Amino acid sequence: MERDLLPDDKLTESAQHLVEEAVVLAGGNTPDARHLLLALVRAHTETVHQLLPQINAEMLEQVLEKELENPQSRIALPYEGIIDLALRIAEREHHPAADISHILKAIAVLTGLLERERIFPAPPVLFQVGLNLTEQAQQQVAPRVVGREREVNLLMEVLCRPINPYAVLVGVEGVGRRAIVQGVAQRIAGGDAPEPLRNRPLFMLPQLLDHPELMGKLVEEAAQQHAILYIEPFEVFLSAPAPQVEMLRMEFLSALIARRVPIIGAVSSLQGLRRHINRAPDLLKRFQPIEIRPMDDNETLTVLRQLAGLFREQLQLEFPDSTLQQIVQIAGEHIQHRPFPDKAILLMDHVAGRARAHGVQSVEPRLVWETAGVVTGLPIGEGERSMLEALRTLESFLKSRVAGQDEAIETLVRVFSLKIRRLDLRPERPNGVFLFAGPTGVGKTETARALAEFFFGSRDKMLRLDMNQFYEAHTAARLLGAEFGYVGFEHGAPLLDFVAENPFCVVLLDEWEKAHADIHKLFLQIFDDGYMTDAQGRRVSFADTVIIMTSNLRPEVSVGFLREQPSLEDWRRAFAQRIAPEFINRVDAICVFKPLEITTVRQIVQERLLRQIQEVYRRRNIELRVSDEAVDWLVERGFSEHYGARELERVVERSLLLLLAPEVPAMMDAIGGARVAFEVDVEADQLRLRKLGAS
């Protein structure tokens, strides 16, 4: 057996030795369950007795030796399936690697011979990989489901069908799909379910199990126990990564359907479900879609009141009704990328954790505001007043970072303040769709970075996409990703992945006019509905993002205007030549960035770039002074009317560092750590360094 077939990084050292012993028993070939189990009995008898005290080790060893001579042995289960299941068991038990005990458990689950020979009973597969929701409801482990009467009743009606008892819940993640299934389990446990569902176990299968033997056992046990199966990762289950896996999963569904085992699945959208139905219509058309809508404010408040009762009984933590109402309000206004009730429960859970960590017995609204600021990353720690103060400070912060663009920044902040506070009529749309117009190198990208840094806490909260890379129609796949099984699906979709992980962020679309018209159409859905669905059916909300597009179009070139001061309407006409009117109509504001004047460029050099460099050298006891002539020299070479100030920072940094770098070691040796002053001046049209003295 080749060494690289063994997942050494996933097996403990003792498990690796066990596999090597099994390889020897297999004559150097890939071992199966017989070789692994025989190696366990011979070398790890104590472990076998600990896990399976009823086993007769000597009898088992004799049986296994006979089975090694049987080419048709029923327990010659493949090595890969055993190791894969052992890794899953180890993961479930929170172990970083699979040990010999996990391999033994995997064999016990997969093999049927052990039960037949009465050596020890094989644990039911359903109890190994599934969760009995009916039993949980009987033991009152989970909170009682409130509301959703219509959806629960409809789901039970489908499960009672004699021919096609198969349902698929359609709703975005967080809308409460599992809660509806738990509601059915509670009805069954309480004796309040229809006769065909009485006393039936409802098992949730939370993981994918692509093993023919294991799937066969699941089908048999589900049929024997009259179980109802809820396949939670149904959307992932249907999106098989390879044709052979897809065939295996469809055979599994077909076997369950042949035995009339009721099945419940869940997907995020009807569109995604239809795409899967087209690939296996004979099977999937049997599933009845049940649409699950988000809860409204009142329904969500009812759910929180029930949770508050549990927190009161179990944690001695009090949530007054006014606090619960505050949670619903804040979640509704400031967390748009999740549906109700999920976002309210999320916020309440964070609040409860914060209260318990600080010894709070009764949660007041102030704590909710503080926690909401942590959850969202927005400056709402003390409520609306904090948001207003942050918005007032935002304008001055942006102007300090981007010089000479006061009018564009004022437009941005004015519209952004309405959107971020949810004062507009369409809160599901992004927190602002802005078009930054103006020549290159005047501060458009820097403004977007500064906004992400100030309002969302970090420059890393901005994703920049160069729209030059999307000039052809087929490049839409880079935005939406590829479906499972197609080339490139493993790479995901950078835009959607980033927004899903960072819902509160800035998305910068650079040189927007360069993108293909089909790309523009994709973004129209985001601007209108606030979300985009990727190729795998995942729905990603953009409701908490700020989308900024930049354009280098110039009215004086495109429309023939004089250079002085084109109006906003001039800019609109310039864009109308390259961008569809319906797209421009969905932009919240066009922020016009003017060409930089020389005085502004000089201000950038003196007040920002030189101060940063001087501070670096000051920490090394070097006082650096730059004459006015040297500043003019840097401005002249770092700024151009065509490229703006894009090269300014690079020219300033490179020119001064190249001038100073050769002198620094000698200066430090000569002065012995004392402060020394140098001046940068211009001589013969070149920068020159002159020592002023030490102190």
274 occurs within a structural domain: yes
Note whether residue 390 is domain-resident: no
Is the pLDDT confidence value at 456 over 70?
yes
What does the pLDDT average to over 207-230? 88
281 shares a domain with 150:
yes
What residues contact 375, with CB distance under 8 A and at least 6 apart?
A: 335, 346, 347, 350
State yes or no: pLDDT of 484 exceeds 80.
no
pLDDT digits (tens, 9 = 90+) for 232-245: 879 888 887 778 88
pLDDT at 486: 52
Q: Is pLDDT at 579 greater than 50 in this prediction?
A: yes
Q: How far apart, in whole angstroms, are the C-alpha atoms of residue 530 and residue 353?
A: 31
At residue 102's C-alpha, the angle toward residues 96 and 103, to 5°, is 120
Same domain for 35 and 93, yes or no, is yes
Of all residues in the chain, what percent carry a pLDDT higher than 90? 46
**Of 291, 318, 344, which residue is a domain's last?**
291
Kindly state the average pLDDT of the residues 203-225. 86
Does 391 map to a domain?
no
d(CA 338, CA 344): 9
Q: Show the beta-strand stretches assigned E in 131-267.
A: 131-132, 166-170, 202-205, 228-231, 263-267
Spatial neighbors of 626 by CB under 8 A, at least 6 apart, are 610, 656, 679, 680
310 within some domain:
yes
| In a shared domain, residues 497 and 549 | yes
Quick check: is 448 in a domain? yes
Residue 35 — very low, low, confident or very high, per pLDDT cuts 50/70/90? very high
Same domain, 522 and 548: yes
Which is more confident, 531 or 9?
531
Residue 396 lies in a domain: no
pLDDT given at position 107: 84
Output the pLDDT for position 558: 47
d(CA 531, CA 540): 5
Query: What is the model's pLDDT at position 212?
Result: 84
The Cα–Cα gap between 83 and 91 comes to 12
pLDDT at 9: 66
* pLDDT score at 390: 87
| Span 644-687, pLDDT tens digits | 787 888 899 889 888 887 766 655 554 556 778 889 999 999 99
CATH number for position 537: 3.40.50.300
Tally of domains in the chain: 5
Cα-Cα-Cα-Cα dihedral sign, residues 111, 115, 119, 123: positive
Cis peptide before 341 (omega within 30 of 0): yes
Residue 227 sits in the same domain as residue 307: no
- Does position 392 have pLDDT exceeding 80, yes or no? yes
pLDDT digits (tens, 9 = 90+) for 70-94: 877 777 888 887 887 788 788 777 7
Instruction: Please tell me whether residues 149 and 192 are part of one structural domain.
Output: yes
> Tens digits of per-residue pLDDT, 93-105?
778 889 998 898 8
Give the mean pLDDT of the chain: 86
Angstrom distance (rounded) from CA 612 to CA 194: 74
Looking at residue 424, what DSSP letter applies?
Answer: S
Pick the more confident residue, 212 or 340. 340
| pLDDT(562) > 50 | no
Mean pLDDT within 346-374: 94
At residue 474, the pLDDT reads 84
Same domain, 153 and 192: yes
Give the whole-angstrom CA distance, residue 11 versus residue 96: 9
- Both 277 and 321 in a single domain? no
pLDDT tens track for 260-307: 999 999 998 888 888 888 888 888 999 999 999 999 999 999 999 999
Instruction: Tell me the residue range of the domain where 335 lies.
Output: 297-376
DSSP state of 240: -
Partners of residue 170 on adjacent β-strands: 267, 291
Shared domain for 431 and 576, answered yes or no, is yes
Residue scoring higher pLDDT (207 or 198): 198
Sign of the torsion formed by the C-alpha atoms of 291, 297, 298 and 300: positive
From 376, 411, 443, give the residue that closes a domain. Answer: 376
Find which of 243-252, 461-470, 656-665 is predicted with most confidence, using mean pLDDT.
461-470
Per-residue pLDDT at 561: 42
Cα-trace Rg, the chain? 33
Model confidence at 489, in pLDDT bands (50, 70, 90)? low
Q: Quick check: 138 and 259 in contact, CB under 8 A?
A: no
CATH number at residue 656: 1.10.8.60
Q: Which of 148-162, 274-288, 485-499, 597-611 shows the lowest mean pLDDT across its residues? A: 485-499
Q: What is the mean pLDDT of residues 568-587?
A: 83
Residue 475 reports pLDDT greater than 90: no
Residue 178 to residue 192: CA distance in whole angstroms: 19
Please report the pLDDT score of residue 423 as a whole number. Answer: 77
pLDDT(438) > 60: yes
Average pLDDT over residues 626-647: 87
Same domain, 680 and 572: no
Both tokens assigned to 333? 């206004």
Q: Residue 5's pLDDT band (boundaries 50, 70, 90)?
A: very low
Choice among 475-489, 491-505, 598-612 with the minimum mean pLDDT: 475-489
- pLDDT at residue 184 in the model: 97
Q: Which pLDDT score is estimated for 301? A: 96
- Final residue of a structural domain among 559, 592, 625: 592
Cα–Cα distance for residue pair 240/231, rounded to 1 Å: 14
The answer to whether the CB of 592 falls within 8 A of the CB of 438 is yes
pLDDT for res 161: 97
The rounded distance, in Å, linking the Cα atoms of 444 and 226 is 64
- Domain presence at residue 318: yes
| Tally: H helices and E strands in the chain | 34, 16
Of residues 86, 79, 80, the one with CA closest to residue 101: 86
Residues 225 and 323 in one domain: no
CA 571, chain centre distance (Å): 37
Let me know whether 29 and 100 are in one domain. Answer: yes
Residue 383 domain-assigned (yes or no) = no
Write the CB contacts of 640 (distance below 8 Å, at least 6 apart in sequence). Answer: 647
Report the pLDDT value the prediction gives residue 3, as an integer from 0 to 100. Answer: 39
How would residue 145 be classed by pLDDT, with cut points 50, 70 and 90?
A: confident
Q: pLDDT tens across 299-336, in order?
A: 999 999 999 998 999 899 999 999 999 999 999 988 98
